[in-house]
Amino acid sequence: MILVRYVLKEHIAPFFAALFVTTFLFVINFLVEVLDKILSKGIPAGIVLEIFALNVVWMVGLAVPMSVLAATLMTFGRLSSDREIVAMQSAGISPLSLMRPVLVFSTLLMVLLMLFNNWLLPEANYRSAMLMQSVTRKRPHAMIDEGKLINQFPGIQIWVSRIDNQNAELYGIKIFEIGGNYPRVITADSASMEYVDMGATLMLHLKNGENHFVDPKDPERYFRIRFANQDFAVQNIDDRFERTDNKTRGNRELSIEEMLKVVEESSKEDKELIEEFQPLVWKNMDDLNLILKKDTILPEELKSKKILPNAKKRANAMELVKQEENESLIKINRMEIRREGILKRIAIHKVEIHKKISTAVACVVFALIGAPLGIIARRGGIGPGTVYSLGFFAVYWVCLIGGENLADRLIISPAISMWACNALIGTIGLFLTWRVARR
């Protein structure tokens, strides 16, 4: 029991120190990227602090696994560098006994982080998005960055490839109207911005672009309309800060239970879509078969005679076959496009479900690999531990983001994308633990 208290005492202090350092790094990045835009809008200090506090939530969620790794490296690195582990081994105490309290502490953090990711984090993300949307309405053009998808505007998303700040011109614009079942997409080569209606509306003067949309009454009809000049209004913009609460929650703003419900509903929609299109496609195939038999295939009683099929009937039949085939292909393509959207929606939510759990499990995985690495490295202190953990977590996070992108594009399974890195690191950790235990 004395040994357990000693190891925990050596571990908990570095954990909170690492938590402070890693959270501080996230805060600095947040201040550089976002807060300067908020301050330029003249928002009250209380609102600025609320936005900051809500964003600290996701920072803590990322910092906890990093801090577990850093603290474990520091703890066992110091014990190893001071030869305390050698002394304990001489007394018959194995490294596994030293690791046990840290693993129990990491397991407790894992459970708490799962609850944190499922309940507190989605609500904080939602409230932060609501506040940012309200801030955007005050001076929306300040939130438009090149090379980023801007989703702070209610009901629309905007992508801008390049911004000419000197002339207030936008280039390579894509506007996605996401309201309703069939969103409209607008593309334009360039655009200029102007406030109208006493500052209540941001008007985008688009040049040389296209409108892409589906007829809501007949989803099989797709329209593409080119234009030389077109105005697009972003409405409900003014200089007063007003809170809003009308944003549809995204996948990162939902709990696991809510996302499972979305997955269930989307799976049902996918099944209904297949049942809707299958009869149409197969009915066309049956009709084609009848046409060919009627117009181009000779009856059995005439096969023995030298009678050629009527050329005009054959030509008409083949033309009708082409038309029917083209219509079938169009229907199949439309079904595939709609189905791909449904499957991507399922994948995105499944990825987020697995991420909430796998990032929490990473606490135990990092403790499992941090302990043997610290013993082997024999370097304690907050400096080496933080550097090693930042490098290790950077690799982990790159793998996580890469896996998420692949899963969102339906290339790999959501489960594999979120758990592969944990499995790899855990396996290496078990191997290193085995090596250390045998020494």
Residue type, position 102, single letter: V
The tens digit of pLDDT for each residue in 123-182 reads 998 888 888 777 665 555 556 777 888 876 777 888 898 887 667 688 999 998 876 667
SS (H, E, C) 290-342: HHHHHHCCCCHHHCCCCCCCCHHHHHHHHHHHHHHHHHHHHHHHHHHHHHHHH
Quick one: what percent of the chain has pLDDT higher than 70? 77
pLDDT of residue 283: 59
Which element (helix H / strand E) includes 169? strand 169-177
pLDDT at 432 over 60: yes
Give the C-alpha separation, 364 to 341, whole Å.
36
The tens digit of pLDDT for each residue in 400-429 reads 888 889 988 888 999 999 999 899 988 988
Give the C-alpha separation, 195 to 203, whole Å.
6
Instruction: Tell me the mean pLDDT in the region 233-246.
Output: 61
CB 366 within 8 A of CB 425: yes
pLDDT of residue 37: 62
Edge-to-edge order in the sheet of strand 201-214: 149-150, 156-164, 169-177, 184-196, 201-214, 222-234
Long-range pairs, 395-404, Cβ under 8 A, ≥24? 396/362, 396/421, 396/425, 397/62, 400/355, 400/358, 400/359, 404/351, 404/355
The pLDDT-based confidence of 313 (bands split at 50, 70, 90) is low
Query: Which of residues 231 and 7 earns the better pLDDT score?
Result: 231
User: What residue spans define the domains of the chain?
Assistant: 2-139+348-438, 140-234, 264-345
The pLDDT-based confidence of 108 (bands split at 50, 70, 90) is very high
Provide Rg for the chain, Cα atoms: 30
Query: Which of residues 188 and 32 earns the better pLDDT score?
Result: 188
Query: Which of residues 305 and 368 earns the better pLDDT score?
Result: 368
pLDDT of residue 297: 47
Q: Is the dihedral of CA 351, 352, 353, 355 positive or negative?
A: positive
The pLDDT-based confidence of 382 (bands split at 50, 70, 90) is low
